[in-house]
Structure 1
Amino acid sequence: MLLSEDVKPIRYLKTKTADIIKTVNETKRTIIITQNGEAKAVVQNIETYENLQKSLNMLKMIVQSQNDLENDNCISQDEMFKRLEKKLFD
């Protein structure tokens, strides 16, 4: 992140919205919008946002898997396939 380029006041967003959208799409960097000197919002291109959401979902699945392992809430691969076959063919 380049603070001199990636942090903009809200008045800049109001007057240069098209420029900000063009910049985030070209650079793939997130722009931080400030109001009264405090960070209040971010603007990022859709691809970056979607990748962030995918990463968060993957991390949630990893944490859930770790919790299942710690709580002995697991079954063997053979048992899983038996259950799947039963659901599919019964």
Structure 2
Amino acid sequence: MLTTAQIKPISYLKANAAEVLQHLTECREPMVITQNGEAKAVLQDVASYEKTQETLALLKILAMGQADVDAGRVHTMDEVMDMIRAKKKNK
């Protein structure tokens, strides 16, 4: 849940950009920027953004894996080991 400290008008961002960046880096909490009383953007520090992107990538991999399972595109461990052994013999 956002607190009022995390919601700022664009005029505040313009007047206090350095302070906002420092706050984002120290607190690692996103800040919602409003324009004419409406939420227009979310700012966050780079480390938090990168962590979010990594999490999304992992979730996408999990979803792709689940889709493969649901579609029956799976192999038993013995089948996989046989495929690996066959590749090694062909080298």
- Structure 2: distance between partners of 1:51 and 1:22: 18
Q: Which has the larger radius of gyration?
A: 2
Aligned ranges 1:1-90 → 2 under 5 Å: 1-84=1-84, 86=87, 90=91
- What's the CA shift for 1:14? 0.8
1:23-61 per-position Cα deviation (integer Å, ceiling 9, x unaligned): 011111000101111111111111110110111111111
Number of aligned positions between the proteins: 90
Runs of 4+ in 1 over 4 A off after TM superposition: none
Q: Distance in 2 between matches of 1:10 and 1:34?
A: 6
What is the distance in 1 between the residues matched to 2:64 and 2:2?
35
Bigger CA drift: 40-49 or 71-80? 71-80
CA distance in 1, matches of 2:23, 2:60: 31
Q: Any gaps of 5 or more consecutive residues in structure 2?
A: none
TM-score of the aligned structures, taking structure 1 as reference length = 0.86
The alpha carbon displacement at 1:78 in A equals: 3.2
